[in-house]
Structure 1
Amino acid sequence: MFTFPLLLTIYAGFTHAFEADHLLAVTNIVSRRDHIWLSVKDGIFWGLGHSSTILLIGVLMILFKVGISEHSFHYFEAGVGLMLIALAVYRLQKFFRCKKLVIHTHGHTHSHPHRTADEGHKHLHVHFAPKQNFNHTQLQVHTHDHSHKLAFGVGLVHGLAGSGALVVLVMAQIKNPFDGLSYLLIFSAGCIGGMLVAAGLFSVPFSKKLIQAPVLQTLLIIATSVLCIIYGGKVMYDNLLLLLIS
């Protein structure tokens, strides 16, 4: 009797990670990584942040009987939309700043003699150092941030809204508080697993092989960031509109 609802709750948590707003957010997070393990860790921290908020709201509603109306979640949803826009703008700013630093750090100009049939002359050439010849200063430009604070913070905000919030509302209706919290924990475990997998999968287009193609990398990052801004704007508009007409 218990096995089926348990598996259903894990499945619901796992698939929750693959909702559109989650995928857009995680793509912008893992696009700065060049190693799948760092992306997977981002997914874990993203899931932990997301689950922390859901569990906190769940404890308030189930154990302490704090009433949070469905109306309030529209404000949370609008906040998530704003976060998606901010995340995309931040990602673009970091990406283009990094490209600018790489160009200014690695480029150098010098002159050398060229001999034609009649005479020698000098002209300028611009060279860029290959990866294997990077010095210490150049390596610092390419060093990636190994912190997962961004992923955890995005997860915290995301836990305030979406179907995760609806899950809390549903679980709050379960008469036995222990059962309600148990299912929230199981749902959260499924979320973390799903977000781990999603982060790993969506980091593949930004792997080292594709990063060797700068044009493709730039197009991917711009495309995912623009989609994130558009979707975030839609989420804000839809929820603020609902608040105005309600």
Structure 2
Amino acid sequence: MEIAPLLLASIVGFSHAFEADHLVAVSNIVTRRNSLHLAMKDGVYWGLGHTSTILLVGCVFILGKFTFHENSFHYLEAAVGIMLIILGVFRLFKLYTAKATVHTHASDVHEHKLAYGVGLVHGLAGSGALVLSVLTTIKGIVSSLLYLFIFGIGSIGGMMLAAGIFSVPFSEKIIRNQKIRVYMTLLSSLFCIGLGVIVIHQQLK
């Protein structure tokens, strides 16, 4: 079993969490958080969703010994763009109706589920290039699946940290002016929509 690639997997997974579309999506989710703990849990749920689909796709292609071309995943990448647009619009809607809503434990669970679902889509879109890379560089079924698992653990840690960092500016303890927090949320939502449009254009042009 090759040790070096496996040791590198967690570092690669950790840094993978900091890609632009990942950060924009999760930062948009945590705009409603006033708790570092809950924001970091959102990051963990994103990582779990991301890892779930990567391991599922990895098992299908590695154990089934299927072959595929990386270009076949362009439509899944475009789906990420659509998801970013929906996420941005959804947050704008929540911002508009914020005064009429009451924060509850159920809303916390909803945000965690949302983060998990976003992670699922990101994992499905990014799994093609990752699995193809593993198939061409790692020898052996066990080593390949172990690489994907360790990669996933790294991505969970990376997004947990990222979600915590991005939630700080939206905390009432840091910025007490509600208007500033609203403007920041508005900017985050518009940026999420804009990046979604760019992703779709790049993948389908």
- TM-score tier by shorter-chain length is over 0.9
> Which among 173, 178, 193 is matched to residue 209 of structure 1?
173
Alignment-mate amino acid for residue 56 of structure 1: L
Contact between 2:44 and 2:159, CA under 8 Å: does it hold in 1? yes
Q: In the alignment, which residue of structure 2 is the partner of 1:226?
A: 190
After superposition, the C-alpha distances for 1:127-160 in whole angstroms (9 at most, x for unaligned) are xxxxxxxxxxxxxx24461111100000000002
Superposed displacement of residue 2, structure 1: 5.1
Q: Partners of 1:156 and 1:171 in 2: how far apart? A: 20
Q: In the alignment, which residue of structure 1 is the partner of 2:24?
A: 24
TM-score (norm 1): 0.77
Superposed displacement of residue 20, structure 1: 0.4
Q: In the alignment, which residue of structure 2 is the partner of 1:159?
A: 123
Report the more deviating stretch, 166-175 or 230-239. Answer: 166-175
Contact between 2:51 and 2:152, CA under 8 Å: does it hold in 1? yes
Q: Partners of 2:27 and 2:81 in 1: how far apart? A: 15
* Cα separation, partners in 2 of 1:142 and 1:180, compared to 1, 3 Å: closer
Three-state SS of the structure 2 residue aligned to 1:203 is: helix
Structure ID, larger Rg = 1
Question: Percent identity among equivalent residues?
Answer: 53
Q: In the alignment, which residue of structure 2 is the partner of 1:41?
A: 41
Three-state SS of the structure 2 residue aligned to 1:161 is: helix
Alignment-mate amino acid for residue 37 of structure 2: W
Alignment of 1:168 onto 2:131 = yes
Q: In the alignment, which residue of structure 2 is the partner of 1:76?
A: 76
Alignment-mate amino acid for residue 57 of structure 1: V
Q: In the alignment, which residue of structure 1 is the partner of 2:87?
A: 87
Q: In the alignment, which residue of structure 1 is the partner of 2:108?
A: 146
Structure 1: gaps (5+ residues): 103-140, 242-246
Q: Partners of 1:56 and 1:66 in 2: how far apart? A: 13
Three-state SS of the structure 2 residue aligned to 1:92 is: helix
Paired residues for 1:175-190 under 5 Å: 175-190=139-154
Superposed displacement of residue 198, structure 1: 0.7
Superposed displacement of residue 79, structure 1: 0.3
Q: CA RMSD in A?
A: 1.7
Q: Partners of 2:6 and 2:175 in 1: how far apart? A: 41
Superposed displacement of residue 5, structure 1: 2.6
TM-score (norm 2): 0.92
Q: Partners of 1:167 and 1:86 in 2: how far apart? A: 26
Structure 1 or 2: more helix by fraction: 2
Contact between 1:45 and 1:151, CA under 8 Å: does it hold in 2? yes
Q: Partners of 1:165 and 1:83 in 2: how far apart? A: 18
Structure 1 or 2: more strand by fraction: 1
Q: Partners of 1:5 and 1:54 in 2: how far apart? A: 17
Q: Partners of 1:198 and 1:68 in 2: how far apart? A: 32
Alignment-mate amino acid for residue 135 of structure 2: A
Q: In the alignment, which residue of structure 1 is the partner of 2:202?
A: 238
Superposed displacement of residue 63, structure 1: 0.5
> Which among 150, 160, 185 is matched to residue 196 of structure 1?
160
